[in-house]
Amino acid sequence: MLVNGIPGNSISIRDRGLLYGDGVFRTLRVAQGKALHWSLHYLKLQRDCAALGITCPDEVLLCAELDKVLAQHPDGVVKLIVTRGESGRGYTPSAAAEPTRIWDFSPLPDYPAECAMQGVKARVCSLRLSAQPRMACVKHLNRLENVLAAAELSDAQLHGEPAAEGLLLDADGHLIEGTRSNLFLVSQGRLVTPDLSRCGVAGIQRGRVMAWALQHGVTLHVRDVGLEEALQADELFIVNSVIGLWPICELEQRHWSHFPVAVQIRLGLERQDA
């Protein structure tokens, strides 16, 4: 654990990351002492910082810090948080604030291999994502909606209805994403992923799937998607940097057992990881 380059596991109670969720973060899969797709993560970090007007830390500095983390923890999950830094009382961001850089490590979660092979059960959360075009796509620290949605999943599990992921709609009933993943539909050989211009987080795995589709001549649409359309899709799958790609095998009483396109994309992405 590093905070501003120094080993430590605490931050100031005046850090705006705590006070207002005034920051952004990245979740990196690290393997054999390397962070997968670091350059994509750094590009996303730059964009997210820019969206909030936070000065993005220099890449050379971050890479040096990442190397320190990787030296101790070569395999697992590394989280990087960049906050706007400390400030006096009040919401107004000070131009003088120095962004805070926080690195943390956790072991890779012990997901069964079947998740990727046979798919996972998903459910629709009752919480609706709010629309905020100014912060759409950005992976910022204001994540209470994800927390409340994840709590729904955990409640459902207690009631004997386990699901590996919860899907989130916006107030207009458009399907947006999972609580911790982006969503794709496969219909007649075409890929569709929800438009995220009003809400949702545009993760880097989503970008990688979109790039894969381009490279392989697969038609991809980014647009509004309703739940009904998803239930009628040939395949559904979710992606993030830790799980990789999981097909969905059950959603709202609908079942899927064959995921030829999802499998092809997963293998394609894994080949790039290697």
| Span interacting with its own copies, options 66-74, 81-89, 210-218, 261-269, rule CB under 8 A | 81-89
What is the C-alpha to C-alpha distance for residues 53 and 66, in angstroms, rounded to an integer? 23
Q: Are 202 and 137 in contact (CB under 8 A)?
A: yes
- SS3 for 237? strand
| x/- letters, 205..244, toward its own copies (CB under 8 A) | ----------------------------------------
| x/- letters, 117..156, toward its own copies (CB under 8 A) | ----------xx-xxx-xx----xxxxxxxxxxxx-xx--
Within residues 32-61, the interface with its own copies by CB under 8 A covers 52-53
| Span interacting with its own copies, options 19-27, 181-189, 200-208, 226-234, rule CB under 8 A | 19-27
Q: Which is nearer to its own copies, 22 or 235 (CB)?
A: 22
| Span interacting with its own copies, options 28-36, 87-95, 206-214, 255-263, rule CB under 8 A | 87-95
HSE value, Cβ hemisphere, 13 Å, CA-based, for 185 = 25
| Span interacting with its own copies, options 20-28, 55-63, 113-121, 203-211, rule CB under 8 A | 20-28
Q: Which of 5, 21, 207, 268 binds its own copies (CB under 8 A)?
A: 21
Q: Which of 167, 144, 149 is nearest to 226 (CA)?
A: 167
Q: What is the DSSP letter of 21?
A: -
Least distance in angstroms from the C-beta of 216 to its own copies = 32
141 strand-pairing partners? none
Q: How many CB atoms neighbour CB 177 within 10 A?
A: 28
Q: Are 22 and 16 in contact (CB under 8 A)?
A: yes
237 strand-pairing partners? 184, 247
- SS3 for 222? strand
Instruction: Compute, in degrees rounded to 10, the torsion defined by CA atoms 181, 182, 188, 189.
Output: -90
263 is an interface residue for its own copies by CB under 8 A: no
| x/- letters, 164..203, toward its own copies (CB under 8 A) | -------x-------xx------------------x----
Cα distances (Å, whole numbers) of residue 96 to 12, 34, 84, 159, 248: 16, 33, 10, 50, 47
Footprint of its own copies (CB under 8 A): 1, 3, 8-22, 25, 52-53, 77, 79, 81, 83-84, 88-93, 102, 104, 106, 109, 127-128, 130-132, 134-135, 140-151, 153-154, 171, 179-180, 199
